[in-house]
Amino acid sequence: MKPTEKFTHRLALLAGVDLSQAYLDAIAAEIEDLDRIVAELEEFAQGTPWVSQQLQPATSKA
């Protein structure tokens, strides 16, 4: 996916909310930065087990 497509994809998650162009401009840099942050964290987390949390009642016992 090209960077512009990634940005558009993320903005699609805000679809249905009537946001002005000025508002979108204000968050554009932060949204564009998310791809880099996630990529860094993904590399950092390599080899770590996925978090798995069951929802047994707190009073349950084996």
Instruction: Point out which residues bind other proteins (CB under 8 A).
Output: 10-11, 13-14, 16-17, 19, 23, 26-27, 30-31, 33-34, 37-38, 40-42, 44-45, 48-51, 55, 58-59
Helix, strand, coil share (%) of the chain residues, nearest 5: 55, 0, 45
- Tokens standing for residue 62: 């084996």
Measured over the CA atoms of residue 23, residue 29, residue 30 and residue 36, the dihedral's sign is positive
Between residues 13 and 62, which has the closer beta carbon with respect to other proteins?
13
Between residues 55 and 62, which has the closer beta carbon with respect to other proteins?
55
Least distance to other proteins, CB of residue 21, Å:
14
